[in-house]
Amino acid sequence: MNRRTVAALALTVATGLTLTACGGPKPAPGSGSRAPADAFEPVKVGDGDATRGGNVNVLMSADFQTLDPGNSNYVQTANVGQLYYRTLTMAKEEAGKPPTIVPDLATDLGKVSKDGLTWTYTLKKGLKFEDGSPITSKDVKYGVERTYARDVYTQAPQELNAALSDDGYKGPYAKGAAADFKGIETPDDRTIVFRLKQPFAEFPALASRSNTAPVPRAEDTKLDYTNHPVSTGPYRIKSYDRGRAMKLVRNEHWDPATDPNRSALPDTFTFSLSTAQSTISQQLLADADPTALTLDSAGGLQASDAAKLDDPAVARRTASGLIGCTDVLDLNTESIKDPQVRKAIALAIDRKAIHLQYGGARFGKLTQSYINPDQRGYVQQHTALDPAGQPKLAEAKKLLKGRDVPKKLVYGYADATPRYKNMGTSLQQNLKQLGIDLELRSIPAANYYTTLAGKNMPDIARSGWCGGADSGSVRTTIDPNLGPSVDGKTFGFSNIPRYHDPEIARAMYALRGENGTSEELGRKWSTLFDRAMQDYPLVPLIRNVTRSVVGSDVRNAQVGYFFGAIDLSTVSVASGSDSGKG
Amino acid sequence: MLPARPASGADGGGVPNARSPEPGSAPPAVAARSLLGTAWLRIRRSKIALAALAVVVLMILFAALAPVLTAIEGQDPYTTRTSPDVLDDYGTPGLPLSYYRYPSFDHWLGVEPGLGRDIFARMAHGAQVSLVIALLATVVSVVLGTVLGAAAGYFGGKVDMVISRVMDLFLAFPHLLLVLSLTPILQSRLGDTALGEGSLLPIASLVIILGFFGWAYLARVVRGQVLSIREQEFVEAARAYGASHRSIILKQIVPNVMGVVLVYATMMIPTNITAEAALSFLGVGVKDPTPSWGQMLNAAQAGNWYLTDPWFLAVPAGALVITVLAFNLLGDAVRDALDPKSSRG
């Protein structure tokens, strides 16, 4: 193009600044994504350093949604939870790979009965709460029981509960027969027996869900439990100022002999819970605090920070890896009822522009499906979306002919991250082409998913899913996200688009009870998912790659596949680091 | 029959007729100039004041003609451009390639990083939003301040006490904190907080907030002026004629405080421009997609774009600095011009 050669009114000063800020050569314009071949290989920082002591300073742009293991579906809570609660089994992270299920409080991964309906676990000896009292099987049972009180814990993990045989149970706060739980038996203080409705091949993964973390009945303060969950892990909460700061110190009653999964090297962890995301990325890039790291998604990095990752000094401090998290746009099927209208909206979306907001090829791959081929049971998925992410406007307009098209839709975004607002601005332009006015509504980041689960769910919203109990299996993505409710009659608890097709719901409901290997069952799940996706309840966007810069004294930093952030169970700080902070 | 017109001012109580002095009578009087006339004369003598005035007029024209100018440019403030031809895809994702980053034939001031919207179009429409908010908020403050200040000064007693305490109350609030916390509340009361292109909600809310919390200082000054004016003979005379309070305030008093009001108004406009920019920068004022200079500063700061694309920050910041400086200099000049004791006139 001839126009591009027209000399711009070059501003020498501005150009000079830009060049120094960017550093390194730039690719020629217009040649598309150029991710290096090794872009998706995991990178660890300071692997193998065994120094004990010091403080790790965790910077976050928003408070944890909750610290209560019984009210959490959140990866950040699961990540920090490794430090203060233990579960029967545990999903142990290894960078770049789906996590492995290993025993934690239990001696092994469980013994299953012949009919597949009973799983028995034995607790290790010498397990104690932070006050020194012993952990018994009743505490584990109670931890599960309370998550049946869905009226209290709206975000309670339900995967385990859905598999257990007592659907009529209403939680320990209910009165009468409804308060007597038959799904779990505790013949003695160290034995726990789970009674299942149906055989469940991946049950050891369900036993790693956060609601198998023991909760002492006497300490259960319901929704206030989040302020001080009783520790069973290597650290306990010393102070927690909601929305501002938290400090974890060693729990003397944690016995390392019972726990091969957590290195627990640092003496303390401090959390700063209200640092602006742009400040976090600047501090980490500049190494302002050598013991700092962040749990924010995408390492708290802004798109404009990307070029700095090429700086060798920063690259040395960058842990990275492909993660299980996939981001999608949820289309509210209760407000946009017509599947063809949803399909048209999906086709009109410029996913390439959204990919750019995520930092382009360096931070993720455009994906055509919510599930990915790395998961067990994946079968080829079908979609009309363009693989390169370009909008298909003509096709979208054709679909809308003669249909009842909404005049105005609302896109809700979490206000802490500029990228999500920019996505909205881009969507606004796309939908305008279809004659739809898209309005942008900011939602406080701390209430984002609660809002999406409630009655104020906007018409369009972004969400991400990083896999459930067994993130290596397709079911872990499909069942919670588009699956039916516990009784199969409505949509499930994490089904943000509120998708419910009676036929597919029935089939998925039946599938939950089938016996077979994880692989066989996975294929069936994938096939049903493919059918559901033809109704476009959601638009797949990006399979994430996380690059997380850590301070120069941080060691053993790896990006968790499931957490999408630095795995707190392995990190430590180098010797000689100033641990006087916090 | 028409009454005979006096041939001269010799009949005692008549108005001296400067245009047709009797030859040989009193020396010709200097032409009486209105307050504004005098002020204009003084402003005309100062090069700085004239330059400031020119910039202000140009800025207002620029804002008023924003749709025309962007039409000439062939762009609009909302269209996003995210193809790899425009925005970098890998090196610094979202950074406009150099042809698009800086002024060019197609994009007079380049395009935004991240979304690729035309900066000139956004700056021009943003000027409209910023100036409309500042001017309307000033009008609200001036009307409230003048009326309440005049009422307090003129009536005295209980009226004065009530109004003065309210003034004290408003002056005692930490202004920025109050505005910061009230704006989101007001916005959610005024309507749905979901914002579309060209939404009037943030504009209306800023006008109300800035206008309503900016009147107290002016009211206090006006009250002081009125306290002295109301004792003067012409007011006594009007009262003696049986003029109503309303007529005395509007016809005798307000015109005599107009000088002070004018000075404060010209000073208040740049304050309000900065206040709008500050609020939008902090994310509670004008929000994307509606452009304003503060919103553009916010966008340059969000995602740290100012580090890799300083030009994107320079445009709204430059416009803001130039405009505020021009209004401030003009305000100074108006004050000097209206103040007879000023030495610089």
Query: Exposed, middle or buried by CB within 10 Å (0-12, 13-18, 19+), for B283?
Result: buried
Radius of gyration of the CA atoms of chain B, in A: 26
Q: What integer pLDDT is reported at residue A469 of this predicted model?
A: 61
Phi-psi region of A46 (alpha: psi -120 to 50; beta: other; left: phi over 0): left
Chosen from B75, B79, B82 to mutate, greatest number of chain A CBs within 10 A: B82
Tell me which residues of chain A, numbers 401 to 420, contact chain B at a CB-CB cutoff of 8 Å. Answer: 408, 410-412, 415, 418-419
Closest among A555, A560, A571, A50 to A270, alpha carbons compared:
A571
Residue-by-residue DSSP string for A388-438? T----HHHHHHHHTTS---SEEEEEEETT-HHHHHHHHHHHHHHHTTT-EE
Please report residues of A whose CB lies closer than 8 A to that of B302.
278, 302, 418, 421
Measured between beta carbons, the chain B residues lying within 8 angstroms of A420 are none
Contacts of A27 in chain B (CB under 8 A): 89-91
How far from A557 is each of A46, A246, A311, CA to CA, in Å?
7, 21, 19
Is some CB atom of chain B closer than 8 A to the CB atom of A440? yes
Q: Under an 8 A CB cutoff, do B307 and A304 touch?
A: yes
Residue B76 at interface with chain A, using a CB cutoff of 8 Å: no
C-alpha neighbours within 13 Å on the C-beta side of residue A415: 16
Q: Which A-chain residues 264-303 have CB contacts (< 8 A) with chain B?
A: 278, 281-282, 302-303
Chain B CB contacts of A356 under 8 Å are 82, 87, 89, 93-94, 114
pLDDT value for B31: 57
Burial class (CB in 10 A: 0-12, 13-18, 19+), B60: middle
Return residues 97-116 of B near A (CB < 8 Å).
Answer: 97-99, 101-106, 113-115
Burial class (CB in 10 A: 0-12, 13-18, 19+), A539: buried
Q: What is the mean pLDDT of residues B237-245?
A: 89
The amino acid present at A471, given as its one-letter code, is: S
What does the pLDDT read at residue A52?
Answer: 93
Which residues in chain B are contacts of A353 at CB distance < 8 A?
80, 82, 115
Check if A307 contacts B (Cβ < 8 Å).
yes
- At B1, the pLDDT band (50, 70, 90 cuts) reads very low
Closest chain A CA to residue B113:
A304
Q: In chain B, what's the furthest Cα-to-Cα distance?
A: 93
Chain B nearest-CA residue for A441: B194
Closest CA relative to residue A67, chosen from A231, A264, A274? A231
pLDDT of residue A38: 55
pLDDT of residue B22: 46
Name the residue facing B102 among A9, A408, A412 (closest C-beta): A9
User: From the CB of residue B164, how many other CB atoms can be counted at a distance below 10 Å?
Assistant: 18
User: Which chain A residue shows the shortest CA-CA distance from B192?
Assistant: A441
> In a 3-state reduction of DSSP, which class is residue A93?
strand
Q: In a mutagenesis test of the A interface, which of B92, B111, B183 is the best target, namely the one with the most A β-carbons within 10 Å?
A: B92
Q: What's phi and psi for A49, nearest 5 deg?
A: -75, 125
Q: What is the tens place of the pLDDT at every residue in A168-199?
A: 888 999 887 666 899 999 999 999 999 998 88
Nearest to A575 by CA among A13, A182, A52, A157: A52
In the predicted model, is pLDDT for residue B335 greater than 60? yes
Per-residue pLDDT 10s for chain A (582 aa) are 333 323 332 222 233 333 333 333 333 443 334 445 456 778 899 888 889 999 999 999 999 999 999 999 888 999 999 999 999 999 999 887 788 889 999 999 999 898 889 999 999 999 999 999 999 999 999 999 999 998 899 889 888 998 898 878 889 998 876 668 999 999 999 999 999 988 887 899 899 999 999 999 999 999 999 999 999 999 999 999 999 999 999 999 999 999 999 999 999 999 999 988 889 999 999 999 999 999 998 888 876 777 788 888 998 999 998 888 889 999 999 999 999 999 999 999 999 999 988 888 788 888 999 988 878 899 999 999 999 899 999 999 999 999 999 999 999 999 877 889 899 999 999 999 999 999 988 888 888 988 998 888 999 999 988 766 677 788 888 988 999 987 888 888 789 999 999 999 999 998 887 877 778 889 999 999 999 999 999 999 998 888 999 999 999 999 998 888 999 999 999 986 554 443
Straight-line distance from the first to the last Cα atom of chain B, in angstroms, rounded to the nearest whole number: 50
Residue of B nearest to A410 (CA): B194
Give me the residue from B80, B90, B197 closest to A33, CB to CB: B90
User: Looking at residue A66, what is its pLDDT?
Assistant: 93
Per the CB < 8 A criterion, the answer to whether B212 and B206 are in contact is no
- Cβ <8 Å between B79 and A419: no
The 3-state DSSP class for residue A67 equals coil
Tell me how crowded residue A249 is: count the other CB atoms within 10 A of its CB.
Answer: 17
Find how far residue A246's CA is from the centre of its chain: 21
Pairing mode, strands A554-555 and A89-94: unpaired
DSSP string, B36-84: HHHHHHHHHH-HHHHHHHHHHHHHHHHHHTHHHHHHHHT--SS----ST
Q: Which residues 447-466 on chain A approach chain B with CB closer than 8 angstroms?
A: 458
Checking if the pLDDT of B236 tops 70, the result is: yes
* Partners of residue A35 in chain B, C-beta under 8 Å: 90
B318 to chain A, any CB pair closer than 8 A? The answer is no
- Does B4 score more than 80 pLDDT? no
Q: Is there a contact between B84 and A30 if contact means CB atoms under 8 Å apart? A: yes
CA distance B193 to chain A (A): 6
3-state secondary structure of A131: coil
On whether any CB of chain A is under 8 Å from the CB of B184, the answer is no
Identity of the residue in A18, A356, A421 whose CB atom sits nearest the CB atom of B93: A356
| Confidence (pLDDT) at B337 | 83
Closest CA–CA distance from residue A397 to any residue of chain B (Å): 19
Residue given tokens 């919670």 in the structure block: A480
Inter-chain CB proximity A350 and B309 less than 8 Å:
no
CB A360, CB A541: distance < 8 Å: no
Write the residue in A17, A21, A34 that is nearest to B90 by C-beta. A34
Q: What is the pLDDT of residue B173?
A: 82
Q: Does B82 touch chain A (CB under 8 A)?
A: yes
Tell me how close the Cα of B67 comes to any Cα of chain A, in angstroms: 19
A248-303 pLDDT, tens digit per residue, is 999 999 999 999 999 999 999 999 999 888 899 999 999 999 999 999 988 888 76
Give the residue from chain B lying closest to A36, CA to CA: B90
User: Which residues numbered 7-66 in A keep a CB inside 8 Å of some CB on B?
Assistant: 8-11, 14-15, 17-18, 21-22, 24, 26-27, 29-35
Instruction: Identify the closest residue of chain B to A9 by CA–CA distance.
Output: B103
Do the chains contact at B194 and A441, CB–CB below 8 Å?
yes
Q: What does the radius of gyration of chain A's CA atoms come to, in whole angstroms?
A: 24
* B289 upstream amide cis, omega within 30 of 0: yes
In A471-528, DSSP assigns E strands to none
Q: What is the pLDDT of residues B266-286, one digit of tens each?
A: 889 999 999 999 999 988 888
Nearest-neighbour CA in chain A from B82: distance (Å): 5
CA distance B80 to chain A (A): 6
Residues of A in contact with B310 (CB under 8 A): 14, 17-18, 21
From the list A15, A26, A418, the residue facing B303 with the nearest CB is: A418
Name the minimum distance, in Å, from the CA of A95 to any CA of chain B.
24
Average pLDDT, chain B: 84
pTM of the model: 0.72
**B89 contacts chain A (CB < 8 A):** yes
Contacts of A32 in chain B (CB under 8 A): 84, 89
Residues from chain B that touch A285, judged by Cβ atoms under 8 A, are none
